[in-house]
Amino acid sequence: MRFKYVLNEVLVGLWRNVTMTIAMIITMSVSLTMLGASVLMYMQVDQMKNYYYGEIEVSIFLREDVTDAQRATIEQAITSSPLVAEKVYETREQAFEKFKVLWRDSPDFVKSVTPDSLPESWRVKLKDPEQYEAFHAQIEGTPGIQDIVDQRELLDKVFKIFNAIQVGALVVAGFMALAALLLVGNTIQVAAYSKRREVAVMKLVGASNWFIQAPFVLEAVVAGLIGAILGFVFIFVGKVVLLDGRLQALTNVLTPIPDGNVWLMLPLLAGVGAGVSAITAWITLRFYLKV
Amino acid sequence: MIQLENVTKTYPKASRPSLDDVSVGIEKGEFVFFIGPSGSGKSTIIKLLLHEVAPSRGKVVVNAKDVTTMRSWKIPHFRRSIGCVFQDFRLLPNRTAYENVAFALEVIGKTKAVARRVVPEVLELVGLGGKEHRYPHELSGGEQQRVAVARAFVNRPLILLADEPTGNLDPDTSIEIMRLLDRINRTGTTVVMVTHDSNIVNQMRRRVIEIESGRIVRDQARGVYG
């Protein structure tokens, strides 16, 4: 009977103020979508770092006018370095072959390039990619080297972009969450006011505090949960439509998002949505329902 | 049953205390009037007994429990042993007489089955048999107050507090309500009533405690309004 009473109160409460309830659910769902997207992106970047950092190479491009003596010194420096795991020498011709494959869709461009216009290079894999700075310092200044390029630097630029998007999503999530919380607070105030007579009687006859407060808190929790489910649907649809569909080319570079990670967002969003709503409602009640 | 020991209550921003060093004891089964002019502090006593407000100084003991030091989460349970009736009835307008009384039972966890058994009984007791399904606006003032008394009494409290229960009623209806309170008192329930209705006090001839400016100026076993 008590359960039925509470449930009934919750449904009546949500319906009594249905426009506010909808506003609450929408802001909550947008905020949680942003949060979920941001968490997914964080997990993704982490996964990509693991994947790509293992594959990272340092490229050492030689000067066009490099002498045989210099070439030998450079090879010696690379071979003797304890940081190096693997090394491959790439001639101008090999570079040109790669170049032709890479730009096979633009034959005119390929025609304008000859093997001579490409530098010869060393491709070096480090035992520990994090040791790039040390390796760079070791080899730098050896005559005949044109440029040392670490793929990690390129990747870090990409990750920085991801990071910026992620932070942006979190900021939006934060602002929407603030709006959602204010709406929750307001809804609870309105609910408490419209039930002030009942609450007064309940206090008078000695209904327990949780019994008085539960319908209000649950009202907010239900709205939060609906918002979370909507947010999850947005993320799921977004993943299927955008990443698996339209931006598939990009997804190949990005390493695919595992479905498990996406499903993980459901309990996360539900937990955050319900928990935050409950706490907000409870705090609001402390001010508006002095027990 | 009820013990006030050197109780002083000063509301924030008030220039003088509502109750000033008041000590009084009420035994089980007594019927006590607190009388005095408006603002004399008599309603503060009801609030103290319900623990709606805490005393500034002194000790309040109700049903052998020290209310002053009671933890806040225990207050709801404590209030179940006290029934309360007010001048403005405080009924829920969208519920019938039956539902108003049943509501008080249900929100403290009693089942609907208990309500079905107990509520008609107590409505009969207060003289509302046959009017269970009327809404407050379909009842007279006296009948509404009877519903309020039924709600206060349905849990068989040890103490019934009444804050100006006849304040909104005409003299004849007031007397009927007093008879009802008297009947409840005879079941062993302690009744504490705050009033400035001299007519009623004079007719009942019960213990009268007069308060003026927050101090007890008279405590008479079979008193009149004075």
How sure is the predictor about A187, in pLDDT bands with cuts at 50, 70 and 90? confident
Q: Which CATH architecture has domain A67-143?
A: 2-Layer Sandwich (3.30)
A3 to chain B: closest CA residue:
B109
- Among A28-37, A245-254, B167-176, the least confident range: A245-254
- What residues of chain B, 133 to 192, have a C-beta less than 8 Å from chain A? 151, 155
- Minimal C-alpha gap between A23 and chain B (Å): 29
Query: Chain A to chain B, count of Cβ pairs less than 8 Å apart?
Result: 55
CA dist B126 → A237, A263, B98, B145, B154 (Å): 64, 61, 12, 10, 10
CA A269: distance to chain centroid?
14
Q: What percent of chain A has pLDDT over 90?
A: 21
CB A124 within 8 A of CB A60: yes
Average pLDDT taken over every residue of chain B: 93
Q: Are B48 and B75 in contact (CB under 8 A)?
A: no
H helix intervals, chain B: 42-49, 75-79, 97-106, 112-125, 141-153, 171-186, 198-204
pLDDT digits (tens, 9 = 90+) for A188-233: 888 888 889 999 999 999 998 888 998 899 999 999 999 999 999 9
Candidate from A26-40, A94-108, B179-193 with smallest mean pLDDT: A94-108
Chain A residues whose C-beta sits inside 8 Å of any chain B C-beta: 1-2, 5, 197-198, 200-209, 211-212, 291
Q: Do B80 and A204 touch (CB under 8 A)?
A: no
Using a CB-CB cut-off of 8 Å, the residues of chain B touching A208 are 76-77, 108-109
Residue A19: phi and psi, rounded to 5, are -65, -40
> Which residues in chain A have Cβ-Cβ distances shorter than 8 Å to B78?
206
What average pLDDT score do residues A45-62 get?
79
Which DSSP category does A244 fall into? I
Give the Cα separation of A90 and A87 in Å (integer). 10
Pick from B189, B187, B221, B190: which is nearest to B204 by CA? B221
Residues A166 and A42: beta-carbon distance below 8 Å: yes
B chain contacts of residue A16, beta-carbon cutoff 8 Å: none
| Residue from the list B76, B92, B111 with its beta carbon closest to the beta carbon of A198 | B92
Place of tokens 């096979």: A104
> What's the predicted TM-score (pTM) here?
0.75
Residue B9 in this model has a pLDDT that exceeds 90: yes
pLDDT of residue A250: 65
Q: In whole angstroms, how far apart are CA B21 and each of B18, B78, B215? A: 10, 25, 7
pLDDT of A254 above 70: no
Q: How far is CA B72 from the centre of its chain?
A: 21
Cβ neighbours, 10 Å, residue A209: 16
Q: If pLDDT is split at 50, 70 and 90, which confidence band does A114 have?
A: confident
- Chain A: residue nearest B74 by CA? A208
| A73-81 long-range contacts, CB within 8 A, separation 24+ | A73/A142, A73/A143, A73/A144, A74/A122, A74/A139, A74/A142, A74/A144, A74/A145, A75/A122, A77/A138, A77/A139, A77/A142, A78/A122, A78/A124, A78/A139, A81/A135, A81/A138, A81/A139
Q: Would you kindly state where each structural domain of chain A is located, as residue ranges?
A: 2-52+156-288, 67-143
**B140-188 tens-digit pLDDT:** 999 999 999 999 999 999 999 999 999 999 999 999 999 999 999 999 9
What span, in angstroms and rounded, lies between the C-alpha atoms of B46 and B165?
12
- Crossing angle for the helix pair A259-288 and A151-194, to the nearest 10 degrees: 40
pLDDT digit string (tens) for B194-226?
998 899 999 999 999 999 989 999 999 888 887
In chain B, the domains with their CATH numbers are 1-81+157-226 (3.40.50.300), 87-156 (no CATH)
Under 8 Å between Cβ of B16 and B211 = no
Whole-complex ipTM = 0.89
Q: How far apart are CA A285 and CA A192, in angstroms?
A: 8
Q: Which DSSP string do the residues of A264-283 spell out, in sequence order?
A: HHHHHHHHHHHHHHHHHHHH
pLDDT of residue B61: 94
Using DSSP's 3-state secondary structure scheme, residue B124 falls into helix
In terms of Cβ atoms closer than 10 Å to its own Cβ (0-12, 13-18, 19+), residue A172 is: middle
CB contacts, 8 Å: B76 with chain A: 203, 206-209, 291
Which are the contacts of B147, defined by CB distance < 8 A and separation ≥ 6?
B89, B91, B97, B100, B101, B123, B126, B128, B136, B139
Give the whole-angstrom CA distance, residue B214 versus residue B25.
16
Instruction: Give contacts of B112 with chain A, Cβ < 8 Å.
Output: 1
